[in-house]
Chain A
């Protein structure tokens, strides 16, 4: 099973700042990594697929990068609705697995 480790667990930032979230895989997943956003009481929403592709309707301030075992989600110029929990997910190997999440909170 591929283990995805997200860091930091919590990121405290102010609106307008840039958030940099990390996801590290226990073995290579090539580019087969996605990112989701989840707000309290809501279902997750797909943001990024295959490491760097924005899903339909996702604002350009969300960007993804990485390959192999190290991936980054960058949120430029945070706005209030971006404060949420973010999860990465790999589709390279069975079973499909998610990271433990990074909470982006208002400082």
Chain B
């Protein structure tokens, strides 16, 4: 069964610092998603990673995928307060099952 583990679950950062969120999954997948969620809101897609070695960047966020290690990372560079949110990774298996990580609540402090 496809399982997704995300860590850390809580992350408190100072503005300007860098950090990485990790997403491990248990079986071969077809694609991996990173989402952002603000409190009480829907999930907003940030990245879709399709192949081994895929790297995507948008602003201060960069996501990468290592399918051999079954690991994706979301790297935050020079964090700013606006990045405070909950970040989820989700993995879609080859039979179109979707599994989510538990989310990382990021708080960026001045």
Do chains A and B stick together as partners? no
Q: Which residues of B contact A (CB under 8 A)?
A: none
Residues of chain A at the chain B interface (Cβ within 8 Å): none
